[in-house]
Amino acid sequence: MNRFIMANSQQCLGCHACEVACVMAHNDERHVLTSQRYQPRITVIKHQHQRSAVTCHHCEDAPCARSCPNGAIAHINDSVQVNAQKCIGCKSCVVACPFGTMQMVLTPVAPNQFKASAHKCDLCQGREQGPACVENCPADALQLVTEDSLTRLAKTRRLRTARQEIRPWPTEAPPPRRPARRHVA
C-alpha cells in the first residue's frame, strides 16, 4: 500500500508552515528568497471559514502515472514518484490528476531557456525524519498514513462500532396495557 499524507481540516490553522517546511526540505534547508523558487509540493487552501492542506494522494492506480507517455511517474518505495530527467513536460499528468495536486515547474537550463517538468509531493524521499510538512505543522493537522496506521485506524473504528452496537437500542416504552374486559353473558 502506498503511503500518503492526510490533512485534518478541523485542526488546520491555515498558517502555511507546511508549505514553508516543504520548500526548505527541497532546497537543502535554506530559505528561499525568490517567488520563482518558492514551489511547495503541498498547498494550503482556504475556502470560506475552512482551511486545509492539499497534496498528492499517492494513488494505488495513479492516473498521473497511467497518463505519462514517457514513464516518468512510477511507484517507488510505497509512493508515487516523478523522475524529472524522464519528464518531457507534456502536462498529461496535470490533466489526469483528479485532486489538482500535480504541477509543472520551470527549471532554467540556459539563459532564457527553461525545462518544464512535473512537480508533486514526494513524501520527502531520503529525508530521515520523514515528510517535513508533517514534522513542522504546529497544529498536528497532518499525518503520514502508512499501511500499519491505516490498519490501526480501521481496527479502532470497528471496535467503536462494536461497542455502540452492544448497547441496547433506544426504544419507546410500549403503550400501557388495558385490563381485558370480561363479557358477561
Sign, CA torsion 163/169/170/173: negative
In a domain, 154, yes or no: yes
Say what the pTM is: 0.81
Same domain, 68 and 104: yes
Same domain, 161 and 87: no
In a domain, 178, yes or no: no
Strand, coil or helix: what is 109?
A: strand
Q: What are the pLDDT digits (tens) for 88-144? A: 999 999 999 999 999 999 988 999 999 999 999 999 999 999 999 999 999 999 999
Same domain, 51 and 64: no
Same domain, 103 and 62: yes
Domain ranges, residue 146: 1-56+121-165
